[in-house]
Amino acid sequence: MPLERMCEITAVQKVAEMTFKIVAESKEIAEKAEPGQFAMLGFDSPTFDPFLRRPMSFAKTEFERLEFIVRVVGWGSALLATLMPGEHIPILGPLGNGFPEPSERAILVGGGTGIAPMAFAASRWKKAILLYGERGQENLCGLHNGICETKIITEDGSYGEKGLVTDYLQKELEKGPAEVFTCGPIPMMETVAQISKKLGAKCYVSLEARMACGIGASVGCAVETKDGYKKVCSDGPVFDAEEIIWEALDD
């Protein structure tokens, strides 16, 4: 069962362009969180504005420490980025199903803020390589540092290799058996799923979606699968890539 706690903010750090790392404290939530799971971050506002909490993947947990990556894209994420150490916010979590433990080498493919659950998984799994893709150096958030073998790919070539992160997935899969785990923009994950299927690798995707509750009470985060509609918050966010009807997803 998820826990709801008022959590103290201990740090808010700008780590990339319009991107912030938020650190909060809850020993109970930290002890239960697994890679791929998420939390709903609320606002301690007497006016209930904004009303809905924001879903955020765990980027790391350690002892009582909870880390999240927030990219400012709207009103709610902008408010989270203005939090100050010492403030308290309600956090509900951990939520969702998380990634299955890999039975062989794991290839983790992260793009944008999708790097958060990938970095968390990389910190827990021994046999892993992380492929991290961004538009440019200014977008890299630093979560990849020192956790496992990592390859950085930027679209403009300003840091690491130039190209798309998916260009390097096939090269890694050709080295030997592996399971693939991915989170990021829909087109990227769809391509990751296609490459994995072509080369006979199992692929798991962590979907990001707007959601109202995080516990399956609403249908705002429903996605179409081969077994009908499923809720990202309670049936996911992690799905077997072959379940997903990709053309039904909006990026």
pLDDT at res. 179: 98
- Domains of the chain, each with CATH number or no CATH: 3-95 (2.40.30.10), 106-248 (3.40.50.80)
The reported pTM is 0.93
Grade residue 45 by pLDDT with cuts at 50, 70 and 90.
Answer: low
With cut-offs at 50, 70 and 90, classify the pLDDT of residue 46.
Answer: low
**Whose CA is closest to 67, among 19, 98, 30?**
30
Identify the weakest region by mean pLDDT among 83-87, 97-101, 148-152, 192-196.
Answer: 148-152
pLDDT band at 119; cut points 50, 70, 90: very high
What confidence tier does 50 reach under pLDDT thresholds 50, 70, 90? low
Q: Which of 30-34, 47-51, 155-159, 161-165 has the lowest mean pLDDT?
A: 47-51
* Contact between 180 and 109 (Cβ < 8 Å): yes
pLDDT of residue 23: 98
Highest mean pLDDT among 41-45, 107-111, 218-222, 233-237: 107-111
Residue 47 has a pLDDT of 47
Could you tell me where the beta strands, DSSP code E, fall in 35-146? 38-41, 54-57, 60-62, 65-71, 88-95, 106-111, 128-134
Partners of residue 111 on adjacent β-strands: 133
Q: How confident is the model at residue 212 (pLDDT cuts 50, 70, 90)?
A: low
Average pLDDT over residues 102-112: 94
The first and second tokens of residue 159, run together, are 């840091």
Sheet with 3-16, strands from edge to edge, namely 54-57, 38-41, 88-95, 3-16, 19-25, 65-71, 60-62
Position 142 pLDDT exceeds 90? no
Q: Minimal CA–CA distance to 196: which of 246, 149, 155?
A: 246
Name the nearest CA neighbour of 99 among 207, 216, 22, 186: 207
Higher-confidence position of 85 and 143 = 85
Copy the structure tokens of residue 108. 């983790």
